[in-house]
């Protein structure tokens, strides 16, 4: 069963960690005008009663100050994981509520991350009576599926790097986008914690299987050694995290499958690093190997020098030792 993605939680974590970078990317005039003092993220409990019941975890409200200005302002960021025809009314409603409670100017932004539809989301809420305009409320809309990921291939902005995964891309380009994003992350000036957070965002939104995974691996194999090694480190951290999560689930079958999948991916990458790009025929032979056979292959590959060594091993792999049921963890 496919795992449900908590889009709001993922985006909230990303944007809380890289809010200034987000503004530098999408609201550069505002970002330049902000005072360098730390931004203040309002506790959601202080404004959750102002939001609709189904939106109380999604929004970010940030208190900031303009350079050389004594007064502060609020930046309200609304994330939309699904298209909503009522977005304009809600943005106006929230603006009025925040302005009324805090008595501060409010800069409203709607970030739309859904893949479809690609029609432009509304960026204003207007009320007109006959020829009289009663209200013309405008807010900034960032609609990722109307942006082209290739336009960001030279970026150094960490938010742009990972949001490429939610921009307009064809299904056949997923592996290309993942390779490009990780290549940029590998060269970015980030802490280890930041790199893991960003790379996991990419992994969640661009999972690859079968031919796409093989194409991704082949692409990474063409990168310069420092880039390739940095990406391998990132991918290995995913596999370690996946194995830890698999153990936490408490199901013996799930743990065995998780270990085998992690082993398989790691071994394929180790073999690629040592022997070069692996032919599809050899990858097809590695796919069905059990966990114990993958362990044996991991030990044997230390002695491999050519693809012929791998072919010979796969021709007569050791018997699987995974038939016995693994005991449950305490």
pLDDT tens digits, residue range 17-50? 999 999 999 999 999 999 998 899 998 878 888 8
Q: Which pLDDT band holds residue 247 (cuts at 50, 70, 90)?
A: low
In a domain, 23, yes or no: yes
| Contact between 266 and 236 (Cβ < 8 Å) | yes
pLDDT in tens, 272-311: 877 877 787 888 788 788 877 888 887 888 788 888 888 8
- Does residue 294 fall inside a structural domain? no
- What percent of the chain stands above pLDDT 70? 87
Q: Is the pLDDT of residue 163 over 90?
A: yes
> Which candidate, 178, 151, 149, places its Cα nearest to that of 164?
149
| Within-domain flag for 287 | no
Q: Which of 240, 256, 275 is the last residue of a domain?
A: 275
Q: Name the pTM for this structure.
A: 0.72
Residue 170, Cβ density class (10 Å: 0-12 exposed, 13-18 middle, ≥19 buried): exposed
Domain of 252 in residue numbering reads as: 149-275
- Tell me if 164 is assigned to some domain: yes
Q: How far apart are CA 82 and CA 328, in angstroms?
A: 40
Local structure of residue 327 (DSSP, 8 states):
P
Q: Which of 82, 76, 60 is nearest to 109 (CA)?
A: 76
Residues 50 and 100 in one domain: yes
Residue 135 CA to residue 305 CA, distance in Å, equals 73
Q: Which residues on neighbouring strands pair with residue 82, listed in sequence order? A: none
Residues 11 and 142 in one domain: yes
Q: Is residue 309 included in any domain, yes or no?
A: no
Tokens representing 307? 């693809």
Of 111, 238, 209, 244, nearest in space to 167 by CA: 111
- Does one domain contain both 140 and 177? no
> Does residue 169 lie within any of the structural domains?
yes
106-149 confidence digits (pLDDT tens): 999 999 999 999 999 999 999 999 999 999 999 999 999 999 99
Domain end point (choices 112, 146, 180): 146
Q: Is 300 within the bounds of a domain?
A: no
Rounded to whole angstroms, how far apart are CA atoms 17 and 210? 33
Nearest 5°: phi and psi at 51? -100, 160
> How many domains are there within the chain?
2
Residue 93 and residue 27 share a domain: yes
């Amino acid at each position: 069963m496919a795992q449900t993605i908590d889009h709001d939680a993922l985006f909230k974590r990303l944007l809380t960690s890289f809010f200034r970078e987000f503004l530098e990317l999408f609201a550069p005039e505002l970002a330049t005008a902000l005072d360098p003092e730390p931004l203040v993220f309002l506790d959601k409990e202080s404004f959750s009663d102002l939001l609709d019941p189904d939106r109380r975890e999604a929004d970010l409200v940030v208190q900031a100050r303009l350079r050389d200005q004594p007064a502060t302002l609020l930046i309200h960021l609304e994330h939309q994981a699904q298209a909503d025809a009522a977005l304009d009314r809600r943005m106006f409603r929230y603006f009025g509520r925040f302005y009324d409670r805090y008595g501060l100017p409010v800069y409203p932004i709607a970030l739309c991350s859904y893949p479809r539809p690609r029609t432009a989301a509304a960026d204003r809420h207007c009320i007109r009576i006959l020829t009289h305009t009663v209200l013309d409320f405008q807010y900034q809309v960032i609609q990722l599926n109307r942006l082209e990921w290739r336009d960001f291939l030279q970026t150094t902005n960490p938010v742009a790097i990972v949001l490429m995964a939610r921009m307009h891309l064809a299904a056949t380009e997923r592996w290309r986008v993942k390779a490009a994003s990780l290549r940029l992350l590998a060269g970015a000036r980030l802490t280890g914690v930041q790199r893991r957070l960003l790379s996991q965002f990419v992994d969640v939104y661009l999972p690859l299987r079968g031919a796409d995974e093989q194409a991704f691996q082949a692409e990474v194999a063409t990168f310069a050694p420092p880039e390739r090694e940095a990406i391998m480190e990132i991918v290995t951290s995913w596999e370690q995290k996946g194995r830890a999560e698999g153990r936490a689930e408490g199901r013996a079958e799930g743990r065995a499958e998780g270990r085998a999948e992690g082993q398989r991916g790691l071994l394929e990458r180790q073999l690629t690093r040592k022997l070069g790009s692996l032919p599809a025929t050899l990858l097809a032979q590695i796919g069905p190997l059990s966990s114990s056979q993958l362990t044996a292959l991991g030990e044997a590959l230390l002695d491999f020098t050519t693809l012929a060594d791998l072919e010979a091993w796969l021709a007569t792999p050791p018997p699987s030792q995974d038939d016995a049921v693994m005991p449950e963890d305490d």
